[in-house]
Structure 1
Amino acid sequence: MTDQKPELDSDTLAFVGRVFQFARMGHAEELATLFGQGLPANLRNDKGDSLLMLAAYNGQHEATRVILEAGGDPELANDRGQTPLAGAAFKGDLAMAELLLAHRAQVDGVGDGTRTALMTAAMFDRTEMVDLLLAHGANPDLRDASGQSAADMARAMGAKATPDQLDRAARKAG
């Protein structure tokens, strides 16, 4: 028995490429039709990005909703360990974060990595996102694999407001 992957013909590769473009570009109706025909909602590309990750990262709210309702896993991380919620946090997309959280995204989820969405939001000084994640129960005291908290990461990145914001939240929680 070998681990050899089957060769895909050019038509199949073109189809798969279109499906991932549908997610990136927000073609919700086309995705819904394909899911209705049996397309797996957790399809991933060569970088480990799921359809949900691509739709969420690119701010495609309706496509994200369609993928979630078709069974897209909000905890499925890409090859860099990033979850769709962390992608929304990086982008500062509050509505997307709310949508993901309403569909079972774990507020402190780390996928295959060690960074939470709160850590990502803090690093890029996304104060409104930090507030949103904290309101949903994000833990400001969690540490990544190197032992850094969200506030530590924010300071290391030169964020202006989020380090103090997180320090206040940690004192309040403690």
Structure 2
Amino acid sequence: MTDRPLSPADRSLLDAAERGGLDAVRAALAAGASVEARDDEGRTPLLRAAFADRVAVARLLVEAGADVNAQDPQLNSPWLVTGITGSVPMLHALLPGGPDLTRRNRYGGVSVIPAAERGHVAYVRAVLTETAIDVDHVNDLGWTALLEAVQLGDGGPAHREIVDILLAHGADPLLPDADGTTARTHAERRGFPEIAAALLAAEGRTLNP
């Protein structure tokens, strides 16, 4: 999938972005490569760099005007990919490009949701501290970041910390999933007593501010 036929310079840029070759990226751009060229899977150079966590290349591409929100047919964008990889350096590299914090992935989620599910503690803390992302965004499955951290997490230290971070940044513990089940109920059912206790305390604060 391409918007136009790829030139040799475009192909060089796409490959170099994924490999992390700064000199090759600069050379391809100087040769006229489009910063928004797309490979056969509809991925831009910046998206390929984001998947490969090529931070220096990403900075260069953002400076060259690459779109941090450009999505492939799977609805992955460079910014959304940071929630999958959990890369805080990539988050910082992309912020100057003006990420659309409301842009949704194929599940209808924003970047903090997959990060919470996957246990990316540092990323969850950074994206909530450094951006205005909606901590209570509900995806197409009816799940928030808090619900995914409990329902799809393993209850271990990383997910316990993520629950604490989400709550500290205002996540609503009373928001239920599509079946009407709250995060605390999921925690109790899954045998996560520490998470359940944290959620119970948060519910109390929410009901009795």
Check whether TM > 0.5.
yes
Check if 1:24 corresponds to 2:74: no
Match of 1:107 in 2: 135
Match of 1:160 among 162, 181, 192: 192
Check if 1:138 corresponds to 2:166: no
Q: What does the per-residue CA deviation read over 1:79-107, in whole Å, with 9 as the maximum and x for residues that have no partner? A: 11222101111122221012211211121
Check if 1:9 corresponds to 2:9: no
Q: Which has the larger radius of gyration?
A: 2
Letter in 2 for 1:128: E
Check if 1:120 corresponds to 2:148: yes
Match of 2:32 in 1: none
Q: Report if aligned partners of 1:25, 1:55 keep a CA contact under 8 Å in 2.
A: no
Instruction: Return the offset for 1:65.
Output: 1.3
Structure 1 vs Structure 2: percent identity of aligned residues? 25
Unaligned runs of 5+ residues in structure 2 are: 12-37
Query: Aligned partners of 2:66, 2:140: CA distance in 1, in Å?
Result: 24
Match of 2:118 in 1: 91
* Structure 2 CA distance for partners of 1:100 and 1:41, relative to 1, 3 Å: same
* Structure 2 CA distance for partners of 1:31 and 1:115, relative to 1, 3 Å: same
Query: Aligned partners of 1:80, 1:159: CA distance in 2, in Å?
Result: 27
RMSD: 2.4
* Structure 2 CA distance for partners of 1:52 and 1:81, relative to 1, 3 Å: same
SS of equivalent to 1:16: coil
Q: Report if aligned partners of 1:107, 1:117 keep a CA contact under 8 Å in 2.
A: yes
Q: Report if aligned partners of 1:75, 1:83 keep a CA contact under 8 Å in 2.
A: yes
Q: Report if aligned partners of 1:65, 1:99 keep a CA contact under 8 Å in 2.
A: no
Q: Which moved more, 1:80-89 or 1:11-20?
A: 11-20
Q: Report if aligned partners of 1:119, 1:154 keep a CA contact under 8 Å in 2.
A: no
SS of equivalent to 1:130: helix
Match of 1:36 in 2: 63
SS of equivalent to 1:109: coil
Unaligned runs of 5+ residues in structure 1 are: none
Q: Report if aligned partners of 1:90, 1:121 keep a CA contact under 8 Å in 2.
A: yes
> How many residues in Structure 1 have an aligned counterpart in Structure 2?
169
Letter in 2 for 1:98: R
